[in-house]
Amino acid sequence: MAETDVAAASLFGADRRLCSADVLSPPEVRARIEVAVLNFLAALSSPSSPSISILPLISRKSANCSLRSGLLSDVSSVYLSYAFCKRSLMRENDAKAFVRVWKVMEMCYKILGEGKLVTQRELFYKLLSDSPKYFSCQRHVNQSIQDVVSLLRCTRQSLGIMASSRGALIGRLVLHEPEEERIDCSILGPSGHAITGDLNELGKLNLHSDARYLIVVEKDAIFQRLAEDRLYNQLPCIIITAKGYPDIATRFILHRLSQTFPNMPIFALVDWNPAGLAILCTYKYGSISMGLESYRYACNVKWLGLRGDDLQLIPQSAFQELKPRDLQIAKSLLSSKFLQEKHRAELTLMVDTGKRAEIEALYCHGFDFLGKYIAKKIVQGDYI
């Protein structure tokens, strides 16, 4: 089938420039699934069509990815164009993936009919039980969910699939859900407030804050150190972490905070290694794999540290060699279309020196140094 025919066969959406996933109600999603089934049955019975139709999915490859800038904001995000890939039952490599898409859609149809939300992990174990031949690992489920998002053009949450959140936040923020008690995040213990994976619940929260800064930290250990030191009492801020690569729920609440408090700059504190930069870029632009939804969560995140200028603060004994995985991530980032020049220069320095450094290396100056380091860099405008 020609590319133009594949585009014409697409079930939803007509704009050929930008492709996005819609937030839909359960009845609307169920209706789209029903349309997909009817189109498939029509293709089966049509004498002029192949006996098995293909599934036209938005391509989630880097060649179909670009960066768009907001018209009225300084936020840029990854987006996907209307270039299509195909899942076909007639191709050996695609056959199982083709069936998986329909099985995930079937499960989502049931979940939405029951008014439930499930995590990707819960969905995996249910599908493993029902169809072990097709779902032998979590990756099969994750890939199939993204295929369904690409086919139906609706968000994962709309499909009844809830983000599995690891995130937490603490600081000068009061959360208030209608008819619930207020949560003052400035009086919590060092573990902070756990971020729910239900985006609907996060969307209902009323947010109140007198903070001046939002600080995103890569790791839970750093989050707990800053929380233990009550950094937000010395520097009026909100501290947030996803404890590694950012999940959807953490990105969602960060985006909500940035929209609610548009004059509050966001600073990222990550390790000086390719993975740290990849984490920062996910907060800043979104990811290609979720390109249909990235614009919903992208934020204008500034890189506070660690950066090349900070390496003089770290003893030579604290540096580590770049690992093969680091070099793989670096290669991917360097080939991307959205990496800004100052970020590219930092990444090039990492590769050229073959070194990496963790935030904890700053503890050579004392455990209370990290808060002073953050405050000094913000006050001096030392970020990119």
List all residues 6 or more positions away from 207 whose beta carbon is below 8 Å from its beta carbon. 173, 174, 175, 176, 256, 257, 260, 261
List all residues 6 or more positions away from 293 whose beta carbon is below 8 Å from its beta carbon. 20, 21, 149, 155, 156, 248, 286
Question: What CA–CA distance (Å, rounded) separates 85 from 291?
Answer: 15
**CB-based burial label for 144 (10 Å; 0-12, 13-18, 19+):** buried
Active site amino acids: 125
What radius of gyration, in Å, describes the C-alpha atoms of the chain? Answer: 23
**CB-based burial label for 72 (10 Å; 0-12, 13-18, 19+):** exposed
Q: Are 162 and 198 in contact (CB under 8 A)?
A: yes
Does residue 195 sit in helix, strand or coil? coil
**CB-based burial label for 344 (10 Å; 0-12, 13-18, 19+):** middle
Q: What is the rounded end-to-end Cα distance, in angstroms, of the chain?
A: 46
